[in-house]
Structure 1
Amino acid sequence: MPTELLADPAVLVTFILIGFAAQLIDGALGMAFGLISSTLLIATGVPPAAASAGVHTAETFTTAVSGISHVAHRNVDWKLFFRIVIPGVLGGVTGAYLLTQIHADVAKPFVLTYLTVLGAYLLYRGVMHKHTEKAPKVVAPLGLAGGFLDAAGGGGWGPIVTSNLLVQGSNPRKTIGTVNTAEFFLTVTISATFIATLGWAAFTTATLGLLIGGVAAAPFGAWIAKRVNADLLLTFVGSVLTITSAYGLYRALS
């Protein structure tokens, strides 16, 4: 990592603002903190494994506050929570270990293409008021895939799990709250795996900035998720997923 990234106080303020904005979106829509933060860290010259480690170190704290906030606002479906959290943790450990050993860039364009299409579909359903709520049937495989891709790509838990549960008809508010709350256990596990394999290199000025900004924004995201109606939440989720995935795909292919 460039030494100026660790020494310049302006960098800390920049990443505090990035962390605040990313977590505000993540807490309200169930995705984007990892994608936004990882993309910007890598753009500043941070290696992919270190970027993912740094983001997950920050997320250990931001997801704790976010999860508590969602529980307080009664945004959590506990039955769904237990169906996704264990597979998510298993997938996260596997993804974190593999990222420190190999590059996972080969699959990235395919995953991002899938998420872009999924985002456009969710956007359509939200705008056209076509969301019919029903209990999701495919859950554990989503947790496993989401945890793996989150660790391997620095962000993927929310986009994979939240979007696919919503496509199946899950309640937007409960889905966002549940996925955010489960993410705490995922990030703790992934961070521990990274620390065991990479050491304490993840604790940088950028990580600290993301942590401070993210913790400050976390309670507001849960409050927004509780008060915005389902169709509007779905529209926002679709928009954010389409934009972030399409941009990630452009970067992966360029």
Structure 2
Amino acid sequence: MTSIQLLKHNIQKISFKQIGWTILTLNLLLIVYFVFIIQQSDEFLFAFDNTFYTFIAIGFCAQLIDGALGMAYGASSSSLLLHFGVSPKIASASVHMAEVFTTGVSGLSHLKFKNIDKKLLIKLVIPGVIGAVVGAYLLSAVLDGGFIKPYISAYLLILGILILLKGIRNNFKKHKKVRKAGLLALVGGMFDALGGGGWGPIVTSNILNQGKDPRLTIGTVNTAEFFVTFFATGVFLFYVGVDSWQVVLGLIIGGVLAAPLGALVASKINKRLLMIVVSLVIILTSSLNIYHSFIGG
């Protein structure tokens, strides 16, 4: 048996319990790191003002949408943050920091109920992490935030259109195997980090369109998203730091408040109608961001 075959064999032997403990450990490490930064910082500022409540509202709405659709948390929250004047770097970094906790809880829930295709999870995690790290590095250290803002808004506008078309069409093609899962994860991870969202619309939608069971698709992609988000956050912390506590804590608090309502919304609301409404919000806010970037200044 070659070393590559041995590695694949060992990876396939990883249990759901081991994946769960990994998620818990990584979340705990991030919490410890945040506490350490706060204690060491002499410039830690925080105010319960209208701006903070706006971020709570954005986190609440985004998590409610994600709970009902299984996607669009990043696209909706990022487009709204950009609309309220948050820079692309801070917006994407804040969304990913908040998402580490929301996707961690989501992943643990899916593991508990065995909504996971382990082979697909392995195919998604490694290329997804690579794509996210590259995207986060480009946004943090290479690309200028002011220059790239209209292009990020244009990307989110395209995502909004894709979500709208998906809501209108509301049907899936049928294929037995998931094709090009690694490539989907690589592209999804990179654009998710660059634009602050897109993992769900790119990865989940394409896999569902190939006929994969919705329960296993959403569970697997959401669990993989935790690892993608965690490593993107690591890059953002290294290059951007944590100067956006109001945004991060606002998104986390809003998300925690909305989380219990997610399942209720998912069971009561017409998902097709919600997807269309969400896509229109993303399209509108992204269009306004593009307009202000090129016309309004």
Fold conserved between structures, TM > 0.5: yes
**What are structure 1's unaligned runs of at least 5 residues?**
none
In structure 2, the CA distance between the partners of 1:109 and 1:42, relative to structure 1 (3 Å rule), is: closer
Q: Is the 8 A contact 1:108 1:252 kept in 2?
A: no
Residue 84 (structure 1) aligns with? 124
User: What residue identity is the alignment partner of 1:250?
Assistant: S
Alignment partners' CA distance in 2, 1:36 and 1:116: 9
Task: Mark the CA change 1:33 to 1:118 in structure 2 (over 3 Å): closer, same or farther.
Answer: closer
Number of equivalent positions: 242
TM-score (norm: length of structure 1): 0.80
Match of 1:189 among 231, 239, 251: 231
RMSD (Å) for aligned C-alpha atoms: 2.9
Higher RCO (CA < 8 A, seq sep 6+): 1
**Which residue matches 2:222?**
180
Is 2:103 the counterpart of 1:58?
no
Shifted more, 59-68 versus 160-169: the winner is: 160-169
Q: What does residue 47 of structure 1 align with? A: 87
* Residue 216 of structure 1, CA deviation: 4.0
| 1:141 counterpart = 2:183 | yes
Q: Decide whether the 8 Å contact of 1:67 with 1:180 is kept in 2.
A: yes
Counterpart of 2:22 in structure 1 is: none
Residue 115 of structure 2 aligns to a residue whose secondary structure is: coil
What is the match of residue 246 of structure 2?
205
Identity of aligned residues (%): 47
TM-score for both structures, normalised by structure 2:
0.70
CA displacement at 1:7 relative to structure 2: 2.2
Among candidates 221, 243, 247, match of residue 284 of structure 2: 247
Cα shift at 1:112? 4.6
1:21 corresponds, among 61, 77, 82, to 61
Where in structure 2 are there 5+ consecutive unaligned residues?
A: 1-44, 292-297
Equivalent residue for 1:67, pick from 83, 107, 118:
107
Pick from 153, 169, 172: which aligns with 1:131? Answer: 172
Q: Indicate the larger mover: 158-167 or 69-78.
A: 69-78
CA contact (8 A) 1:28 1:176 kept: no
2:65 maps to a residue whose letter is: I
Partners of 1:249 and 1:205 in 2: CA distance: 22
Indicate how the Cα distance of structure 1 residues 207 and 124 shifts in structure 2: closer, same or farther if over 3 A, else same.
Answer: same
